[in-house]
Amino acid sequence: MFDDQIGQRHPLRLLLAEDNIVNQKVALSMLKRLGYRADVVANGLEVLEALKRQSYDVVLMDVNMPELDGLEATRRIRQQEASAMAQPTIIAMTANVLQGDRETYLAAGMDDYVSKPVRVNELVKALKRCSPISPQAASATMNSQNPVSIEPAVVDLTVLEEFQAILGEEDLETVPELVRIFLEDSSNLLAEIQSAISDADAKTIERATHTFKSSARHLGAIELGKLCEALETVTKAGTLDQAPEQVAEIVAEYDRVKIELEAELQKRRTLNLAL
């Protein structure tokens, strides 16, 4: 069980920085269930603009975003004079929780992190460590626990079931909507990755595979997420020799994921009609 009344007992002004629409909807739905609302921006530049307009107690900051990433946005926030900008607690939201990442986030000025796909209990714990802005407010400390490794099927349907439990029986549309958005976006991302490989465009491959990885994991396609992460990692290292073979693996795994998700959509449609 999770604390679905935390927003009433522990009010906070929240800013969500996330460029992936699936991830946005997941995070906003979780926060709504907890009694919070959040303003949403899609990159680090928009974070800085939002903080100029008003103060926030907490910024839920995606690390990898276009135009200005979460780490650089955090550095710029921390460089502001105290008189010019109230300092929010900054919580990294990231699929990258490898050895050394914690130190990187701390060095940039972040206070905490939650790993993607976000689990509601982990999010609750992070928010409970936050305080409304005040001159005496102390920064939250970094969560030092190691992420839990899950051995997935093609699609770990418990991820969708957990998310549905968070939403409650009164909202039966959000999960199918997220699945449909994922399936629509995936073909575009695959085409973008394949085109970028033909052009040896490492930066585009890295960005597209990061987006694909994050969306896949949020919908329980853990193995697909791992394959995307593997391609993202070698692309960061500047190695594209094996990229065509890796993309072929991603395409094959996506085809399996698509079949399973479409079957899940059909099952949910049937169940909803029967209610």
Q: What is the pLDDT of residues 102-123, one digit of tens each?
A: 788 888 999 998 988 888 889 9
The torsion angles phi and psi of 92, rounded to 5 degrees, stand at: -70, 140
Burial zone of 198 (CB within 10 Å; 0-12 exposed, 13-18 middle, 19+ buried):
exposed
The confidence score (pLDDT) of residue 58 equals 96
Cα dihedral 194, 199, 201, 204, rounded to 10, equals -40
Q: Single out the residue of 178, 197, 207, 200 nearest to residue 247, CA to CA.
A: 197
- What's the predicted TM-score (pTM) here? 0.66
What is the count of structural domains for the chain?
2
The span from the CA of 174 to the CA of 214, in Å, is 18
The confidence score (pLDDT) of residue 138 equals 33
Do 56 and 167 share a structural domain? no
Task: Please indicate, yes or no, if residue 149 is contained in any of the structural domains.
Answer: no
How many degrees, rounded to 5, is the angle at CA 262 between CA 264 and CA 116? Answer: 75
CATH number at residue 252: 1.20.120.160
Q: Are 195 and 207 in contact (CB under 8 A)?
A: no
- 26 lies in which domain range? 6-128
The confidence score (pLDDT) of residue 86 equals 65
The torsion angles phi and psi of 115, rounded to 5 degrees, stand at: -90, 150
In the chain, which residues have pLDDT < 50?
A: 82-84, 135-152, 275
The confidence score (pLDDT) of residue 167 equals 85
Task: Please indicate, yes or no, if residue 137 is contained in any of the structural domains.
Answer: no
The confidence score (pLDDT) of residue 152 equals 47
CATH number at residue 65: 3.40.50.2300
